[in-house]
Amino acid sequence: MFQKILIANRGEIALRIQRACRELGIATVAVHSTADADAMHVRLSDESVCIGPPPAKDSYLNIPSILSAAAITGADAIHPGYGFLSENASFADMVSAHGLTFIGPSAEHISMMGDKIAAKTAMAAVGVPLVPGSDGEMPDLETARSVASRIGYPVLIKAAAGGGGRGMKVARDPSELEDAYRLARTESRAAFGNDAVYMEKYLDKPRHIELQIMADGHGNVVHFGERDCSLQRRHQKVLEEAGSPAISAAQRDALGETATAALRKLGYRNAGTLEFLYQDGQFAFIEMNTRLQVEHPVTEMLCGIDLVREQIRVAAGARLGYEQRDVTFNGHAIECRVTAEDPQTFMPTPGRVIAYHAPGGLGVRVDSALYAGYFVPPNYDSLVAKLIVHAATREEAINRLRRALDEFAVVGIKTTIPLHQRIVDDPQFQAGDYTIHWLEKFVAGG
């Protein structure tokens, strides 16, 4: 087992990883930018190293600084969390080249899944169903036109290097295709330095259903069930549930079997998430994330496991030590992403937190790095807390969520807590009756 792990991240996820390390008796090294000198992940770690100025490119994305921090502190592994360097294959390679363990999959699998075209090709080859679309990249507008007329409008043009919903454009009919195609390429080049795009049929009422898997690299692959992440704004998840209100246990088992068989064939290792769109009873793969997800706690609550602990064990070479039939799904869990944003305009609201009170009680978990007096810096992602509730049934979970949101006090900055309170009180949400387009309309409707 590792003696010391460097956590190459910040905020709630850095704390989350630190907690797992502590419970395993592993020492932790925090890294931080100058903007984060007072951050909770720094205060609670065994050691900390400043790795650069506030802009992420100079600190949390600064590979030489992070590797130097690992070297001077004598860390033997690096956990990348999510975002930042977590899906950077060359970082994973460099970590290994420096004699350290990267807590995640192989660099080869990271780069395969990071290219969404390669990911779809690889998944199709191992029997995973896809959203209908282009066979790979569309090098010119002519190809786009012929694919669109084959699969039928509306279509979605997506960036091969995409992430965070960027480089994605809908064309509802042939007249919109040229603009959508050019915009997707331009946006993708600006965001990712790569303008390769592909096309998918634009589904009109899908749910976003994703499956959590864990593999030990010794041929053992299990899944921990699905999460429903359909509540999105600008293709970004806002509230997630496990299990999905729309999926039966039999559907979960069948999807799990397809996904675990596929990852066994690919020889995948560590945690991963397969994302699907689900419509008219059919699942269609859209992408795979080769890292821990923001919304992993709902799965942890449902299955009673610690996914970060499993990631660390597997990275250290351990076998899973359990099989699919040992994984149980109990009750229902919901997570709200609380961001430092105006709940109406969604403008970021960095600033000083004057008072802070986190909810508690039975079945309530808060993953957050906030505290009274903390200054939310403007330089990073606006996620400041995740409120997770677990209960025996979905209805009880919703009641618990409403109660916990009412207790939650963040004074000094605006947050999206009021938005979550409105969602929880909505009859359609309560009925579980929503698709990926529901929240966008809900927000627009006031």
Judged by the rule CB under 6 A, the positions of this chain that interact with ligand ADP are: 131, 156, 162-165, 200-203, 206, 208, 232, 235, 275, 277, 286-287, 436
Closer residue to ligand ADP (CB): 18 or 188: 188
Q: How far is the CB of 416 from ligand ADP (least distance, A)?
A: 19
H or E element: which one contains 131?
none
| Crossing angle between the packed helical segments 394-407 and 417-424, to the nearest 10 degrees | 150
In the numeric block, the tokens 């797992």 are attached to: 20
DSSP for 38-81, please give it.
T-HHHHTSSEEEEEE-SSGGGTTT-HHHHHHHHHHHT-SEEE--
**What Å distances lie between residue 151 and 23, 132, 134, 168, CA to CA?**
51, 7, 9, 17
291 is catalytic: yes
Q: How far apart are CA 311 and CA 349, in angstroms?
A: 33
State which residue, 169 or 252, has the beta carbon closest to ligand ADP: 169
Q: Which is nearer to ligand ADP, 262 or 277 (CB)?
A: 277
Give the active site residue among 291, 313, 337, 400.
291
Closest separation in Å from C-beta 205 to ligand ADP: 9
Exposed, middle or buried: residue 152 (CB in 10 Å: 0-12, 13-18, 19+)? Answer: exposed
**Angle, CA 279 vertex, CA 192 and CA 160 arms, to 5°:** 15
171 or 277, CB closer to ligand ADP? Answer: 277
Q: In angstroms, what is the minimal distance from the CB of 116 to ligand ADP? A: 7
CA dihedral (356, 361, 364, 369) positive or negative: positive
The nearest distance, CB 120 to ligand ADP, in angstroms, is: 10
Question: Nearest distance from residue 329's CB to ligand ADP, in Å?
Answer: 22
- Residue nearer to ligand ADP on the CB measure, 33 or 299: 299
Query: Which tokens hold the place of 89?
Result: 């294959």
Which positions are annotated as active-site residues?
A: 291
